[in-house]
Structure 1
Amino acid sequence: MSGGFDPLHPRELDLPTRVPLDVDLATGDAAIALDDAKIFAAPADVADIDRWRTQLTAWRNGARRRHGEPARYDDPASAWASRCFTVAQLWLWDELFFDFEAQRFTPERFLADARERFGGLDGVVLWHAYPVIGIDERNQWDFYDVPGLADVAAELRAAGVAVFLDYNPWDTGTRRAGGDADELASTVRRLSADGVFLDTLKKADPELVAALDQARPGIGLEGESKLATERIADHTLSWAQWFADSEVPGVLRARWFERRHMQHHIRRWHRDHAAELRSAWLNGVGIMVWEVVFGAWVGWNSRDAATLRRMLPVQRGFHRWLVEGEWTPLNVLDGAVAGSTFERDGVTLLLLANTSNVDAVYRPVGTGWSALHAGDTADTVTVPAGGIAAAVQVADGVTVPDELGAAQAALASETAENDASFSHRTSRRLAPPRWDGPVALIESAPISSTTTAPVTVPTGEYTLTVRFRMRETGMYDGAPYVDEWKPLPPRLHDQRTLDRSVIVAQPVQIAAAEVSEAEYARFLDAIGEVADARDPDRPAANVTFTRAREYAAWAGGRLPTEDEWQLAAVQPGFTRRTPEVWNWTESEHSDGRTRFVILKGGSAHRSEGSDWYFDGGVKPADFSAKLLLPGLGQDASPSIGFRICREDTP
C-alpha cells in the first residue's frame, strides 16, 4: 500500500461511470464528462434500463457531432482490426516461441498451444526490449534487429495472425539514430507489421499516426488503457486495461461510440479473468492473453481458458452481427444472468453472462431459438457459473444463416470447466551443457592473468542477504504483484531484499578478476575463430552466456554461481577490471516458458531517463539483477563480462 492507495482495489479513475438519467446527454457538461468514461455502469435499478439505453444513445449521437464520424473504419485496409478478438502479449524469447537448444523460433509450437487451450489467436504483440533494454546503448529498434524475425512475422501472418510491434516512447536514454516516427515506420515496413502497441501511451501523436499510415496502410494503433473519444477516429484498437465494471456488466464507452473499434480486456496480474471475459462477451470485444508478464508466470486457469474457447467461435462467426447489428445492451436481466442482443436481417444473436458462482438456467422468450453450445436446447440455455452462453433466434420466413451451423459445429466439443485453480510454475536451475572441445589449462594452472591469487570460498552453510529492484520481472519464483489492480511507482520499482540459505559443499577458487580480452582471444584462436588484438587489462565483454560457459570449460573450470560470486566478492583480493561490467554467473533458470540468468557486480554503463531501463551503475556485492535471456546472440553485451572458478578438490 503506497500513499493510501490499495493496489488490490481499483482507483477512483478506474471505476465505472454512472449515467445520469434526468439530464440532456446530447450536449452540455454532463455529456462531455461521459466522453471520459471507461465503462458506462449498468443502472442500479432494473426499472431504469430503458431510460439508461436512451441516454446512452443520446450521448453517442452528441459525441458524434462533437468529434465527427470516424471515417477510418470505412477503409477496407483497416477492417482487419475489428476481427482481432484474441491477442497474445508475447515475450520474443518465450520458450514456446523459441527453442534455446536449437536456437530457432518455433511459432508453430506457440500457435498450436494457443489453439488447444484458448481456441486460437487473432494477433500477437512481439514484445522485444523491456525488461532487458538499458543494459547497454542498444535502443528499442536494435532489439528488433534479430536474425530471421521477418520470416517469423511472415509465418504468423500466413497463419492468419496479425503481428503487432511494441513502441516504447520512454526509450530516450539509449543510442540515438533517427527520430522515433522514422525508426518505427522503418521497422514496420521491414517486418510487415499489421499494428503497433503504444506502450504507456493512450494515443499516438498525429505525426506518428501519419508516418505509420505511410508505412502500412490500414495499420492498427492500440493504446494502453483509456482512449480519448476524439482519437477513436484514428486508433482502431485500444486496451481495456484496469477497467473496473459494475456488478451487472456495463457498456464500454469506446465500443458504444464506434462498433468497429476493437478493445482488448486485460488485467495482467490477475489469476481470475472471469469478469474481463463477461464484459468482453456482452460488449462484443476481445481479450488480451498474457501469461508471461515480463518473465513472471501469470498463466490462465482452466475455467477461464474454456470460457474463451466457448466465446471465440461465436465472436468470429457472428462478427457482422457484432459490428453491424442493432445492439441492445442488457436486453436480459434475469437474476444473476445478464444478456445483450445483436439483431441483423431477422436474425438475433443473444449473448448471456452469469455473474454468480453457480450455474444458471435461462429460458429464451419466444420461438425460433437455436442453442449454440453443446448440451443446450431451444428451450433452456445453461449459463455456467461465472461464465457465458449464447443462442440465436431466426425470425419466421428468414433463411437460417450459415454462421449458425458453423458455430454449432465449432462448439460441439467445447464444454465449460470449473477448475479455477492457479497452475504455479517453479523455476529450476539448469546445468551447463557438456563441453566437448579442447581443455586448455590443467587443474593447477592459474585461472586469471592477474597476479592476485584467486579468492577461495570455503565450505560451510551461509545465509546471504540479496538486494534487488523488483520491477515486473520478479525474482526467482512467482508473480510479484499477484491480483493487484495496478502497482504504482515507487512500489513498482522498489528495492527489496531476500535471504538465501546456501551450502558450499567443497571449497571453490574464484578468479580475482574477470577474464581479460587477451585471455578470451586465446580461446577464440584455440577453437579456430579469428581474434583481433586484445587488451590484457580490459574485461572481455560482448560475450554470450553460452560462450562464457564454453570459455570456462575450456579453461578447466566453470562460471561461479551467484552465491559463490557474492561470497567471494567481500573477500580481500577480489577485484574489478575497468570499465566495470556485469558478470555472468552459473545461474541459468527456467520455468518452462522463461529463461533467466542472475547477473552480479553492476556495470559502468547506466541508461538514464526512465525507471523501465535495466539496472545500471556499479553495484555492491549483495545486489542481484535478473536478466531475461534472449537467444540468437542477443544476450551479448558490452556491459556483461565474466570470471571463472574451479572447485578446490583435495
Structure 2
Amino acid sequence: MKSPGFNPYLPRPIDLPTEVPLAEGSDLSMLDEAKIFAAPGDPALWEVWRERIGQWREQARERIGYSDERYRVSDRDRFSVCVAWLWDETLYDHARGTFTVDAFLDAAERDFGGFDGVLFWHAYPVIGIDARDQFDFYRDIPELREVVADFHRRGVRVYLSYYPWASETSTDIADLTARLGADGIFLDSSKEGRPELRAALDAIRPGLVMEGESRIPLARVHDHQMSWAQWFADSPVPGVLRAKWFERGHLPHHTRRWHRDHLDELHSAWLNGAGILVWESVFGVWVGWNARDRAVLRGMRRVHLAHAAWFGSPDWTPLADHVPGTTVYGSRWVHEGVPLWTVVNRGAACDGPWLHTGDRPGHRWIDLTTGTPLTVRPAPDGGVHIGGPLPAGGIAAVMPVPLGVDVPLAPVSEGAGGAGGPEDDAFPARAAVRRAKPYAPCEAVPAGMVEAGGGEYELVVRYRVRETGLYGEAPYVDEWKPLPPRLHHTGTLRRAVRLGRFAIGVREVSAGEYAEFVRSSGYRPVRPERFLAGHTDTGRTDTDRARHTDTQRPDAQHMDVASMSGGDAPATYVDLEDARAYAAWAGARLPTEDEWQVAGAAGLLERRESLVWNLTESEHTDGRTRFCILKGGSAYVPEGSDWYFDGGPQPADVSAKLLLLGAGLTRSPSVGFRLAVDLPPQ
C-alpha cells in the first residue's frame, strides 16, 4: 500500500540519489544499494567525492569477490533500445498480415537516429484473456524467427520480454531465446533473474543478455550485463549511476515511461555513458517523444555509433574540467590516450566557454554530435577554454582532432544535438480515433434480434485501468511510479451518446451459424492461424497444434470445411475481421459498445454457453496501436496475478480494452460476437 503522504509525481525515498560520505574513513558500504550517487553542489568538493566513490568501487569489488569475466564476451554498445509493441502498426501491417521491419527501422533512423536493439513487448495486457501463457504469444507466430533475422540484418539486436510474475518456468524463455536466435531477455517487474535462468542462457551461447527492471543488486552485476535505470532520480548537479561506475561494461538504460519530458534521463545517460529505452506506446497508450528529445538522442547516437569504446573505458572522470559559474557539466572519457567529453547544459542557453582543459597544439576541437568546430580561447593557467553555442538542455561531445584528419562522425538524421525553440518540447499528441461503423439498414427487426430503441443517453462506463487506460488516454501523465491501489483501480467515465434506432442480436452468433457462413461464402482470412480452432481440424487448438516458432503457416485455402462443427455454442476463435465478414454476409454489422451497453442495461441480451466476451464495432487506432472494446465478460477467469486480463461475467457498464494482435493471436476461445442492424427512424 502507498504511504499516507505519497505523492505520485515525486520520487519515492528509495528512488532518490544517495549522498556520498566525504569524511576520511567513512563506511562506504552504505553505497552498495544506491541507484545514483548524488553529486555535491559545491564544485570544491568534487575531487574528494570522486575519491570516495573510487574507494567504494575498489572495496565493493573486493568485498563480493567480483569478476568481470562475462563482460569480456558481451556487447557493450546497445545504448539505444526501443520497447516495441510487437503489433505496432509501424512494425506489422494488419491489413496484409505481414511484418514490416524495414519500414519500422527506417522510421526509427529518421526520428531517433536508429536503434541498437529492440525489445519485443508481446503479451501484456492481453495475456489472461484465455489459458494461453506468455510463451504462446511468441510460439504461435510462425515467422517470428525470420523477423528476428530481419532485425539482425540491419544490425539491431533483439530482446524478448519475460514476465516472472506469471507462473511459467524460466527455462521456457531460454528455449525460446535459442529457437528465435534472440540476443537476450528483459525481466518485467524483477530486478534480477534466477540463477537457473542465467545458466540456461549461458548454455545457449556466451554473451546473451539478462536485463532486470530497476536497480540491479551489486552481487548480480557480474551476470546481468544491462539493467533498467527506471525510477532513478538524479541530484541537481548530475550524479553517477552506481552500477555503471562499479562495472564500466554494464549498461543501464534510463527510462521514465509516463513522462512527456525525457531531458533528465537523457542528460544522466549521456554523462554516465549509459543507454536509453525509447518507449512511445506503453501498453496501448501513446506517450510519444517530443521533437527536442528526439534531436538530443540523435546527437547522442552519432557519438555512440562511432565512439562506443570510450563509454566502457576504465578512465572515466565525472564532473571533469568544469568552468566555474556555468550550469554546463561534463564527463571525460579516455580511450587509447584520446579524451572525449560528454557535456550537458542544465541551465539557460549559453555561448561562452564551458570546458577548461589542457591545450593540444596541432589539434582542432569538434562537437561530435553536430560535426561543428568549437571556440578555443587561452585560459589564465595556460590551458584552454572551449565552448560555443549550447542551447538550454543541449548536449555536446568534445574531442580534439589532429589537424588534417577527418572528423570521425557517424551519419544520423538532420537536426541532432540540441533544442531549437520552446515549441520543440511540445507533446506530439495522437488521438485514438474510433473507426466509423458501417451502415446496415433493415426495414424490420430480423429474427433473433430485438429492437433496443435509440435516442440520447448518459452512459457511465467502468473499466480497470491496468496502465492501459480505455481510449488511449495516458492514465499517469508525468507520474513518477504508479503504485497500488491506483495501479489496478477501476476507472469511471461518463459519455453522452446519441443512438439511432437499432436492433441487436438477442444472443451471440453460434458456431453452427458461423460454419454455415464459411461453407456458403468460401470466406478465408488473410492470416488463418487459430481461425475456428476447436471448430475445425485445420484450426487446431493450443494443446494439439505444433508448438514451435519455425512451423509453416496453416493454409487457409485448404481448410477442411466439411469437418467444421456446428452447435449452439458461441462462435469463437474469430477476430474482428472474421466477425465483420460474417456480419456483412448476413446483411448486418456488429453493435457498437454503446449499443451493447444500452441493450444490456435494458435486460434485452441473453448469453450462450459458455460465456464469452463480445467484440463490438468500437475499433480504435492512434496510428500505432489498434484496440477494440469488449463487453459482457467471459466464463474464463484468470488466476494468479492482477496483471491478467479481466474475466468472469461483467455487467453492461463494464468495458474492456483489447489490444488487437496479428498472426491470428487475437482469436480466442473467450471471445465471440453478436449482430446489429440499423432500423429506419420513426
Q: Quick check: 1:367 aligned with 2:339?
A: no
1:355 aligns with 2:310: no
Task: Find out whether 1:49 has 2:46 as its counterpart.
Answer: yes
The question of 1:430 aligning with 2:432 is answered: no
Q: 2:600 aligns with which of 569, 574, 593?
A: 569
- In the TM superposition, residue 447 of structure 1 has moved relative to its aligned partner by 4.9
Show the counterpart of 1:176: none
- Structure 1, residues 524-546: CA drift from partner, whole Å, max 9, x if none? 11123515453532111111111
Query: Quick one: distance in 1 between partners of 2:437 and 2:179?
Result: 36
Structure 2 unpaired stretches of 5+: 377-386, 523-558
State the secondary structure of the residue aligned to 1:110: helix
Q: Which residue of 2 aligns with 1:438?
A: none
Give me the whole-angstrom Cα distance separating, in 2, the residues matched to 1:2 and 1:497: 24
Q: Return the letter of the residue paired with 2:391.
A: P
**Aligned-partner Cα distance in 2 for 1:434–1:561:** 12
Q: How many angstroms does 1:571 deviate by?
A: 2.3
Equivalent residues in 2 for 1:17-28, closer than 5 Å: 17-24=18-25
Q: Which residue of 2 aligns with 1:332?
A: 321
C-alpha deviation, 1:408, in angstroms: 7.3
1:32 matched to 2:29: yes
- Report the more deviating stretch, 284-293 or 181-190: 181-190
- Judge conservation of contact 2:321–2:355 (CA < 8 Å) in 1: no
Aligned partner (choices 115, 120, 124) of residue 126 of structure 1: 120
Q: In 1, are the aligned partners of 2:70 and 2:207 still within 8 Å (CA)?
A: no
CA contact (8 A) 2:634 2:670 kept: yes
Counterpart-to-counterpart distance in 2, 1:442 and 1:468: 33
Give yes or no for contact 1:239–1:266 (8 Å, CA) kept in 2.
yes
Secondary structure at the residue paired with 1:132? coil
Secondary structure of 2:584 counterpart: helix
The alignment status of 1:15 with 2:12, answered yes or no, reads: no
- Deviation at 1:282? 0.6
Give matches, 1:215-364, under 5 Å: 215-334=204-323, 335-364=326-355
Task: Tell me how far 1:157 sits from its aligned partner.
Answer: 1.0
Trace 1:137-152 onto structure 2 (pairs within 5 A).
Answer: 137-145=131-139, 146-152=141-147
Q: 1:101 is matched with which residue?
A: 95
Contact 2:438 2:589 in 1 (8 A): no
Q: Give 1:73 shift.
A: 3.5
Alignment check: 8 A CA contact 1:376 1:382 kept = no
Contact 2:248–2:314 under 8 Å retained in 1: no
Q: Is the CA contact 2:445–2:503 (under 8 Å) kept in the aligned structure 1? A: no
Q: Which residue of 1 aligns with 2:651?
A: 620
Task: Provide, for residues 6-30 of structure 1, a one-character-per-residue CA deviation record: whole Å limited to 9, x for no partner.
Answer: 11000000000000001435xxxx3
Given the superposition, is the C-alpha separation of residues 538 and 425 from structure 1 closer, same or farther in structure 2, using an over 3 Å criterion? same
Q: 1:434 to 1:195 in 2, by over 3 A?
A: farther
- Deviation of 1:272 after TM superposition, in Å, equals 0.4
* Matching residue of 2:418: 416
Q: Which residue of 1 aligns with 2:543?
A: none
Aligned residues of 1:382 and 1:389 also touching (Cα < 8 A): no
SS at structure 2 position matched to 1:520: helix
Match of 2:171 among 182, 197, 206: 182
Match of 1:5 in 2: 6
Is residue 516 of structure 2 the alignment partner of residue 522 of structure 1?
yes
Residue of structure 2 in register with 1:381 after alignment: 388
Residue 59 of structure 1 aligns to a residue whose secondary structure is: helix
* Amino acid across the alignment from 1:566: Q
Asked if the contact 1:472/1:480 (under 8 Å) is kept, the reply is yes
Cα offsets for 1:577-613 (capped at 9, x unmatched): 1111000000111011110000000001011111110
Aligned partners of 1:88 and 1:434: how far apart in 2? 40
Query: Shift of the alpha carbon at 1:401?
Result: 11
For the 8 Å contact 2:437–2:592, the answer to whether it is kept is no
Tell me how far 1:153 sits from its aligned partner.
0.6
The whole-number CA distance in structure 1 between the counterparts of 2:673 and 2:285 is 26
From 593, 600, 625, give the equivalent of 1:594: 625
**Structure 1 pair 376–479 and aligned structure 2 pair: CA distance change class (3 A):** farther
Q: TM-score, normalised by structure 1?
A: 0.92
Change (3 A) 1:88 1:337: same
Q: Deviations over 1:613-638 (max 9, x none)?
A: 01111100000000010012111000
- TM-fit CA distance, 1:412: 7.9
Shift of 1:357: 3.7
Cα RMSD (Å): 2.1
Q: CA deviation at 1:444?
A: 5.7
Residue matched to 2:482: 487
Alpha-carbon distance between aligned partners in 2 of 1:456 and 1:2, rounded to the nearest angstrom: 51
